[in-house]
Chain A
Amino acid sequence: MAITPPSQRIWWHKPIDRIEALWVGIALVWCLVLFFWMPYWHLFGKQNLSNESYKTSPAAFEAKVQAMVEKHKVRTETSGDIPVVAPPPGSDVYMLGRTWEWYPILELKKGQSYRLHLSSVDWQHGFSIQPVNINLQILPGYETVVTLTPTQTGEFGVVCNEYCGVGHHTMLGKIYVKE
């Protein structure tokens, strides 16, 4: 029994039951499939993180965001006058997380690629594009870069899904994707 010492002193010589051995084999094969699926997806899948990232500081990142906003702002929205920015395809675009907003609103073009830079100036935040359901962890002091190519048009919400204080649930942003 499992609550008493094994019945044989040399228990490691006892042969393994066929079904048990078969299951270990099957399970091992499946584990290897799971493992090799990841490098496979890096080679052939279209959804991978570049893992490009830099150390940054709140001030430095804010400056870059502001420069983009000034250059490509097309209008403002909401009672908070949040700028909507339409940067050219292929360019570097920025979104900043802070308590409690994603700033600014981006207007992108479907099928075009953008180098999206993300960072936080205060706590950790969770960048979550909905309903597409792309979720990234955003850390202060780190600038994440991901080359993003929207494949749908419409209006998308950016939810914060990392707890960031008592206003966490009011933290939203927006991305428009146009034809």
Chain B
Amino acid sequence: MADTLFRQCPRSGLFFHRTGESLMKAHAVFAVVFFLIGGIFGLLVMLTRMPSVHLLDAETFYMALSIHGTDILIFWIIFFEVAVLYFASSTLLRVRPAAPALGWLGFILMVVGSIMTTLTFLRGNSSVMFTSYVPMPAEPTFYLGLILFAVGALVGCFLFLATLVIAKREKTYDGSIPLVTFGALTACIIAILSILFGAVILIPTFLWSVGLIPEVDPLVYRTIWWGLGHSSQQINVSAQVAIWYAIAAIVFGATPMSEKVSRTAFLLYILFLQLASAHHLLVDPGIGSSWKVFNTSYAMYLAVLASMVHGLTVPGSIEVAQRRKGYTNGLFEWLRKAPWDNPVFSGMFLSLIIFGFLGGITGVIMGTEQINLIIHNTIFVPGHFHATVAVGTTLAFMAITYFLIPVLFQRELILPKLAKWQPYLFAGGMTMLVIFMLGAGTLGVPRRHWDVSFSDALMQYQYAGTAITMLGMAGLGGILAAVGGGAYVLIAVGSLVFGRRLDQNATLLASFGVPLKPGSYTLVRPERLGMTPAEAEGAVSHAAPGTFTLALVFLATFVVYFFINAKYLSSLWHMS
């Protein structure tokens, strides 16, 4: 039967099903294409927001910004996430993917939808940003493209669930599903819920755009749209955390400190993240404070708690694994002696640190009901989410790409020296962009704004010189990040096209499986996936004092920065 064809990767020991593998590759390649398109427009936007360059004219700027936001936040990330879903189900559980024909249908819907929306933007009459707040209209094909894309992604989600069912029924694994698959399951469930929110609001908005519905209420739109918009960021968080765990396992053979704690933390995401649309509505009219307070905090910050837990357990598990290998000196030998020139590791670790310190802290602070007054719609907001999605999610995806190129695509990385530097370039540039955007935002500089010198306005307002300087510095960071992003595309695409086909009989890396002959697929389903071998009880400690110290530094930063902002808030004009 055609759908019991498996190949084992000799380098990782992982099994790939032929169709599952093709689906993964297709989604990953399209992801990179949209990263490239979105990234180019991001650079153009950045070069326009640098006061000294001010590259595009206003109309093109708003169009470029709409494309950048949509193509990179939605298309790059979700194409990649669907690939991750196939990887976490078919590959990690060694099972055939459910209904591959439907999988291809979903993929085609995503491709058609994303191209339709992008082309609509390029026509120029739909520069409504990816949020497309009503009543500002876009052309119907903008909404239609998004809807098709979402349906395609939904198909991918349901096939993931169906594949888990098949694996369970055919008993392809022993015990519980791996933590990474569990994280992907979390992402999948949140994705299904967000897409349902999306359907509830985007379908009526599409009907409104073709004249079948008289109006869509702007507050109702914002409330439901952000049910999609915010929850979908939690898809990214779950997916990226799953990748952190995967990389800790792949690079270090690390075992989660506690399956119970990590899985409960993922569960908290599902239970509480849906509430978070309130983040975006804290200074909106027509919504009461108790709703805002409860929802913005995901019921007392239980989802934040979950991220703080992962923030400890991922590096903690690495520390435990490293200490076991003998790096036990002091608090940080395990970290110093980590493979910093392996982009799979460095990308993942930078993703984790910058996501937490820059993205996490700023996110919670601006999500505090009253503090939002000093932050809403300033450039602080894109500062925050470039730390979360552009570093956290994107860099995690880049890191795993360096693993997937040899393992999934069976190609040798070209330009390994560049690959070694790429995570640092991208993360360094992004960090600079983020910090200066946060700074300029604190000084009141608006987001989505073509000209903060207001040169052709009737009235005048002058921002502080520091604010303007900071925009310029953010631009330098952005250029650096764009070079880093370009290097990623170059290495990824270049390796697929020019990379040497890999010898199938390279050394075995992981603890399971046996290498096969070149390119060989076998009709036999691989043997049942066994549980991780138990460690000798008591022989090794689970202590991760270095990670705990880092966590305390994180907490101190968080507390200090929170109260700085509270102090700033207290200096404002009085409002009641």
Contacts and interface: CB of A to CB of B under 8 A. Distances in A.
B81 interface: no
B283 A38 contact: no
A165 interface: yes
Contacts of B256: 2, 6
Interface stretch (A59-67, A68-76, A153-161): A153-161
Nearest to B569: A47
Given A7-B532, A146-B575, A152-B573, A124 B458 contact: no
B483 interface: no
A138 B177 CA distance: 47
Contact size range, B? 35 or more
Contacts of A7: 255, 531-535
A11 B562 CA distance: 37
Interface string A155-179: 0010111111111111111100000
A34 B575 contact: no
B364 interface: yes
A149 B373 CA distance: 15
Interface stretch (B298-306, B344-352, B474-482): B298-306
Contacts of B260: 11-12, 14, 16
B298 to A, nearest CB: 9
Given A35-B300, A47-B574, A135-B376, A144 B259 contact: no
B555 A6 contact: no
Nearest to A136: B283
B370 interface: yes
Contacts of B16: none
Contacts of B259: 6, 8, 11-12, 14
A141 B218 contact: yes
Contact of A2 (B246, B529, B533, B548): B246
B378 A38 contact: no
Interface in B258-306: 258-261, 281, 283-289, 293, 297, 300-302, 304-305
Max chain A C-beta neighbours (<10 A), residue from B127, B301, B443: B301
Contacts of B175: 5-6, 8-9, 11
B312 interface: yes
Interface residues of A, number: 92
Given A137-B377, A168-B448, A17 B173 contact: no
Interface of A is mostly: mixed
B543 A132 contact: no
B335 interface: no
Contact of A172 (B305, B454, B545): B454
23 contacts: A3-B179, A17-B542, A19-B316, A23-B312, A24-B309, A26-B555, A39-B293, A41-B566, A47-B373, A48-B575, A48-B576, A123-B133, A126-B446, A133-B378, A133-B443, A135-B374, A135-B376, A136-B376, A161-B446, A162-B448, A163-B448, A170-B454, A173-B459
Given A1-B253, A17-B542, A137-B376, 12 more contacts: A2-B256, A2-B317, A12-B259, A23-B309, A23-B548, A34-B304, A135-B375, A149-B575, A161-B377, A161-B378, A170-B454, A172-B461
Interface of B: 58-59, 62, 92, 127, 129, 133, 135-136, 173-180, 217-219, 222, 245-246, 248-250, 253-261, 281, 283-289, 293, 297, 300-302, 304-305, 308-309, 312-313, 316-317, 364, 368-370, 372-378, 442-444, 446-452, 454, 456-461, 463-464, 512, 529-535, 542-545, 547-548, 551, 555, 558-559, 562, 566, 569-570, 572-576
